[in-house]
């Protein structure tokens, strides 16, 4: 099923001609409307982009970074006058000022199309009743999915996050067929549904559209098993307008970009060089349709690869693999690159343990140590000591083989690790703390 | 300024002809699509409404009550198939199951028009930057205002409620010109703005669109003074689809109904009889355009009066006066009818006290007692005892003259009364508790 079949299955040659035309337009628009880009494009000798001849010429355009957003807070990257802006979103930065995104009416419309494509590819129809359990507000996730799903004609329940009992009551009472949530909240809800004890036949759930944080295949499998649903994943971020930049098709073998609206590249994050097709590196994206806040070559910090191979689903748009992690999240431990997702993929599906874990890094006698605190699912378990010792040993061994690192595994009592309803904060880096 | 001038200023004769035609349509639609109404209309002898000749014939239609919503939870009052429903809202009842509202695409469209009318009448233009500080989610307030304001082309910031520091930061950083909030949260924010100490010239605020709970003229005046803004009020409820049922015009002498979409009446809440024009009683509303969940003669429990007098603003649609309170909220104390709004109107604007108060009812030796707990604005104040004694006496005396009742006034330390970000719960009725 397609939301905009003609565009989603457009022959690549046509698609690339469209991208080239829109890239030239976008560069000229940025050059003319945004002093920040005007200066950077001038300095780089790209000017208004009129000399761009082919898509690969995008490499001559300077990168835009998170820091550029910070320095131009709040509206320094706006290309349209405030009169034409109908929406402002913002994501709370870990420190200080939020990252801001502004939208014209057309931006909202294009964004809703992108989200609708992802949702339809994930199986949503106008007969579905979808509960959106993302936190509503400044965050792009909830309103992004909301507008996309209403555009399809699905029934949207703006549940927002929190109040798990009420979430489950609505599942049952309203005949909810689909869930929108972060993978970690979906996992949490799915455990709660299991614990609540109603048979799955009391629910009409059949699909989940997850996003806003990475979802490992193992997490996905566990959510699918707990709720008896089919889960698809999608990708986006505030700097690029929110969710819907790319999303799973029924093959679930890479997420198709909305390539008519976004031009993706993969670079070596150390050198900034473009990698050849299939190479794993940092995703860089240029928006091709945004009016309020066009973005040239945004460095997403997400590590992935892109394929242009034809997909059996019929979509012609390029696919990105699941993000292996963010250059930000990547830990360097004793010189080894470690992503939290690698650790998660080991833990999910193991017996006795709940979905909550924490990664603790310490520096002891100038050597990094890695501890994984894993919460048990059941309070009585710590008493069954011998079995647990084996569990601990097995996790340790598997982690060692996956990471190539020694990690201490600590089992802790249920409900003792901090809970997160949005993006979970898993890493506790104490290496620069004084030693206890 | 008008959003839909032709409709808002339609000659009454035409408007009433339109209402009559839509009333007949609505009755037939309910009769044919909703078994609950089919039975009630049949029993009342109204049938499919084909014998309705004039608007006052609405009196032969049976009332719909809050209890009917409860008994038909969740979808017993739906008139459209779920396939056509694009949104579900719900308001958390104080006990048990929520009150549910469902919307077709056209319902959302009409609702957005109604909200846009209220907002434009309150001074909003497409150049405004409006921060919505209602809690987003199932509650109709936030998404209702959101869609209406985007329809006007204003810039919407979906701030949601909470995090006062961030709310104020956005006011300043984003050049916010308008605030949407409950009166009590607006008052709270306005006090916080005063305390934060930035000069009002650091803000671009010029208007407030308040709603979802009654706003007394005294509260309004204090919010206006604190923020240097113009405040307008509007009225609605989940059962009728949310905000936008009626709203202030620039005269602020009664809120104009969207009479092409709603047919209002005033009844004696004890007898159910219709009152003549200007009489004060319970507001009853019939929806004239809703597809998802049409409602016949809904008893709102709100006490008000309606005038059909021409308004200097040019709008021809009937106006309701500020609600004096809800038949629900009305307390009967020693046989006297008392509304919390009466008490509020005495407190607001008095020196030394903050916006938070609580009404405590007790029964002592079979006699009702009324205590008003009022929070002081400043912790050191309780030390200035003599002045405070006078303050207390003056509040007591003014309350006595307004209510005709003795009330004990207790001053309590700042931040010791419970805070509410949505609708404030002011009444603590302990009369059926065992005596301490
Ligand atoms: Zn595919
Ligand atoms: Zn008027």
pLDDT tens digits, one per residue of B122-132: 999 999 999 99
A267 neighbors A274 (Cβ within 8 angstroms): yes
Chain B residues with beta carbon closer than 8 angstroms to that of A157? 87-88, 138
Which ligand number lies closest to the CA of residue A311? Answer: 1
Each residue of A106-139: b (16+ CB within 10 Å) or e? ebbebbbbbbbbbbbbbbbeeebbbbbbbbbbbb
A137 neighbors A424 (Cβ within 8 angstroms): no
Please answer yes or no on whether B158 and A138 come within 8 Å at the CB atom: yes
Distance B219 CA to ligand 2 centre (A): 21
Distance separating the N- and C-terminal Cα atoms of chain B: 58
Q: Report residue A351: phi and psi, to 5°.
A: -70, 160
The mean-pLDDT minimum among A5-14, A213-222, A295-304 falls in A213-222
Please tell me the CATH code under which domain B1-323 is placed: 3.40.50.12780
Which ligand number lies closest to the CA of residue A316? Answer: 1
DSSP state of B124: -
B356 interfacial to chain A (CB closer than 8 Å): no
Complex ipTM: 0.81
Please answer yes or no on whether A143 and B150 come within 8 Å at the CB atom: no
Phi-psi region for residue A297, left (φ > 0), alpha (ψ -120 to 50) or beta? left
Q: Give the A:B interface size as CB pairs under 8 Å.
A: 97
Distance B8 CA to ligand 2 centre (A): 10
Q: How far apart are CA A346 and CA A323, in angstroms?
A: 17
pLDDT at B424: 56
Q: Which residues pair with A299 in a beta bridge?
A: A284
Which ligand number lies closest to the CA of residue B9? Answer: 2
DSSP state of A70: H
In the numeric block, which tokens belong to residue B176? Answer: 């916010």
B78 neighbors B292 (Cβ within 8 angstroms): yes
> What confidence tier does B93 reach under pLDDT thresholds 50, 70, 90?
low
Helix H or strand E segment including A58: none
Per-position DSSP letters for A160-220, written without gaps between them: -S--HHHHHHHHHHTT--EEEE-HHHHHHHHHHHHHH---GGG----EEEE-SS---HHHH
Chain A residues with beta carbon closer than 8 angstroms to that of B108? 150
> What confidence tier does A105 reach under pLDDT thresholds 50, 70, 90?
very high
Higher pLDDT, B343 or B204: B204
Q: Which of B216, B226, B130 is nearest to B181 (CA)?
A: B130
pLDDT at A370: 81
Q: What sign has the CA pseudo-torsion B64, B69, B72, B77? A: positive
- By Cβ distance, the residue of B102, B108, B159 closest to A138 is B159
In the numeric block, which tokens belong to residue B152? Answer: 């006007």
Distance B388 CA to ligand 1 centre (A): 73
Please answer yes or no on whether A88 and B160 come within 8 Å at the CB atom: no
How many CB atoms are closer than 10 A to CB A271? 9
pLDDT at A153: 96
Q: Percent of chain A, pLDDT > 70?
A: 89
B263 neighbors B54 (Cβ within 8 angstroms): no
What residue in B sits closest to A136 (Cα-Cα)? B136
- By Cβ distance, the residue of B88, B126, B159 closest to A174 is B88
B412 interfacial to chain A (CB closer than 8 Å): no
**Spatial strand order in the sheet of A319-320:** A306-307, A319-320, A255-257, A242-248, A230-237, A207-210, A178-181, A129-132, A155-157, B85-91, B99-104
pLDDT at A371: 83
Which ligand number lies closest to the CA of residue B316? Answer: 2
Q: For the residues A13-28, what does the mean pLDDT come to? A: 98
Contact map slice: A 110-169 vs B, CB within 8 A: 126-127, 129, 136-138, 142-143, 150, 153-160, 166
Q: For the residues B291-305, what does the mean pLDDT come to? A: 96
- By Cβ distance, the residue of A88, A97, A154 closest to B157 is A88
Chain A residues with beta carbon closer than 8 angstroms to that of B74? 173-174
Q: C-alpha angle with apex A354: A395 to A367, nearest 5 degrees? A: 45
Residue B255, CA distances (Å) to B210, B306, B319 in order: 13, 9, 5
The mean-pLDDT minimum among A294-303, A375-384, B227-236, B353-362 falls in A375-384
Q: In a 3-state reduction of DSSP, which class is residue B402?
A: helix
Please answer yes or no on whether A158 and B143 come within 8 Å at the CB atom: yes
Class of B331-429 in CATH: alpha beta
In chain B, residues under CATH classification 3.40.50.12780 are: 1-323
Distance A166 CA to ligand 1 centre (A): 36
Distance separating the N- and C-terminal Cα atoms of chain A: 58
In the numeric block, which tokens belong to residue A17? Answer: 């001609």
Residue A305, CA distances (Å) to A264, A289, A367, B80, B244 in order: 10, 23, 33, 46, 49
The mean-pLDDT minimum among A389-393, B138-142, B249-253, B265-269 falls in A389-393
Chain B residues with beta carbon closer than 8 angstroms to that of A158? 87, 89, 136-138, 143
Q: How far apart are CA A211 and CA B242, in angstroms?
A: 30
Residues 6+ apart with CB under 8 A from A434: none
Which ligand number lies closest to the CA of residue B2? Answer: 2
In chain A, residues under CATH classification 3.30.300.30 are: 331-429
Chain A residues with beta carbon closer than 8 angstroms to that of B90? 170
Does residue A435 register a pLDDT over 60? no
Chain B residues with beta carbon closer than 8 angstroms to that of A108? 150
Distance B9 CA to ligand 2 centre (A): 10
The alpha carbon torsion through B15, B20, B26, B29 (nearest 10 deg) reads -130
A253 interfacial to chain B (CB closer than 8 Å): no
> What confidence tier does B436 reach under pLDDT thresholds 50, 70, 90?
very low
B231 neighbors B224 (Cβ within 8 angstroms): yes
On average, the pLDDT of chain B sits at: 89
Q: Which residues pair with A170 in a beta bridge?
A: none
What residue in B sits closest to A132 (Cα-Cα)? B137
């Amino acid at each position: 099923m397609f939301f905009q079949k003609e565009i989603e299955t457009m022959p690549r040659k046509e698609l690339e001609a469209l991208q080239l035309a829109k890239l030239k337009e976008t560069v000229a628009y940025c050059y003319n409307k945004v002093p920040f880009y005007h200066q950077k494009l001038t300095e780089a000798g790209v000017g208004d982009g009129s000399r761009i001849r082919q898509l690969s010429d995008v490499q001559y355009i300077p990168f835009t970074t998170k820091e550029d957003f910070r320095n131009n807070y709040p509206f320094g990257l706006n290309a349209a006058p405030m009169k034409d802006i109908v929406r402002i979103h913002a994501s709370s930065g870990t420190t200080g000022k939020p990252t801001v995104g502004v939208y014209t009416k057309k931006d909202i419309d294009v964004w809703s199309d992108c989200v609708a494509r992802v949702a339809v590819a994930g199986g949503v129809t106008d007969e579905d009743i979808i509960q959106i359990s993302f936190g509503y507000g400044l965050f792009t996730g909830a309103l992004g999915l909301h507008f996309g799903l209403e555009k399809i004609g699905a029934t949207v329940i703006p549940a927002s996050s929190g109040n798990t009992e009420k979430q489950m009551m609505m599942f049952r009472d309203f005949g909810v067929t689909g869930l929108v949530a972060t993978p970690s909240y979906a996992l949490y809800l799915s455990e709660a549904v299991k614990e609540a004890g109603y048979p799955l036949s009391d629910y009409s759930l059949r699909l989940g559209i997850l996003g806003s944080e990475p979802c490992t295949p193992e997490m996905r499998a566990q959510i699918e098993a707990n709720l008896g649903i089919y889960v698809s994943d999608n990708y986006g971020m505030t700097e690029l307008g929110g969710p819907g930049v790319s999303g799973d098709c029924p093959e679930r073998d890479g997420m198709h970009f909305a390539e008519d609206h976004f031009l993706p590249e993969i670079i070596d994050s150390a050198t900034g060089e473009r990698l050849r097709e299939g190479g794993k590196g940092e995703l860089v994206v240029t928006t091709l349709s945004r009016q309020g806040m066009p973005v040239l070559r945004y460095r997403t910090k997400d590590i992935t690869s892109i394929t242009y191979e034809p997909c059996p689903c019929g979509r012609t748009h390029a696919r990105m693999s699941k993000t292996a992690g963010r250059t930000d999240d990547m830990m360097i431990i004793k010189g080894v690159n470690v992503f939290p997702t690698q650790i998660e993929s080991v833990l999910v599906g193991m017996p006795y343990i709940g979905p909550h874990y924490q990664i603790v890094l310490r520096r002891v006698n100038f050597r990094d140590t890695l501890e994984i605190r894993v919460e048990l699912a059941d309070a009585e378990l710590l008493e069954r000591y011998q079995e647990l010792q084996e569990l601990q040993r097995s996790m340790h061994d598997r982690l060692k083989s996956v990471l190539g690192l020694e990690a201490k595994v600590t089992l802790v009592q249920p409900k003792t690790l901090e809970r997160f309803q949005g993006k979970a904060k898993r890493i506790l880096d104490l290496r620069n703390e004084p030693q206890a």
